[in-house]
Amino acid sequence: MKTSTIKSKEHAQEITYLISTIKTNKKVEIVNYKSDSKNNLIITLKNKSSDNINANSLAIFKEGSKTGELIREKLNGLETKTFHLKTKINTKRKNILYIFEKQ
């Protein structure tokens, strides 16, 4: 008898996030988040300041993970942009994300 696994394609119910520093908290806001069919993170970030954020200066880490993912695109002042990341998220649990800015 052969059994097949059924993969959940539901979007993540809840993703909580913490902004690491006060400086980043004033600059970046998470507008929207969801997961694709492979449970990869799709996140929309908004730059709240008029200053540009350079490419490779923001990183997103998942709690409990030692490796994060760099955001490789530039985020202009007061711009909203969607990023497709390879960070896997669990759709059945709460995921805590940390956003760091390179100083």
CATH label of the domain that carries residue 66: 2.60.40
31 inside domain? yes
**pLDDT of res. 65:** 84
- Contact yes or no for 57/45 (Cβ under 8 A): no
Report the pLDDT averaged over residues 84-89. Answer: 90
27-74 tens-digit pLDDT: 888 888 888 989 899 999 999 889 898 998 888 888 888 888 999 999
9 inside domain? no
10 inside domain? no
Distance from C-alpha of 8 to C-alpha of 26, rounded to nearest angstrom: 36
38 inside domain? yes
28 inside domain? yes
Pick the residue with more confidence: 78 or 9?
A: 78
1 inside domain? no
Domain count of the chain? 1
Domain that holds residue 84: 15-101
User: Residue 99, class by beta-carbon neighbours within 10 Å (0-12 exposed, 13-18 middle, 19+ buried)?
Assistant: buried
In angstroms, the Cα distances linking 13 to 4, 38, 76, 94 are 25, 15, 29, 8
Report the pLDDT averaged over residues 2-30. Answer: 45
Distance from C-alpha of 52 to C-alpha of 37, rounded to nearest angstrom: 32
3 inside domain? no
Mean pLDDT of the chain: 75
Return the SS3 of 25: helix
Task: Name the residue type at position 94.
Answer: K
User: Residue 73, class by beta-carbon neighbours within 10 Å (0-12 exposed, 13-18 middle, 19+ buried)?
Assistant: middle
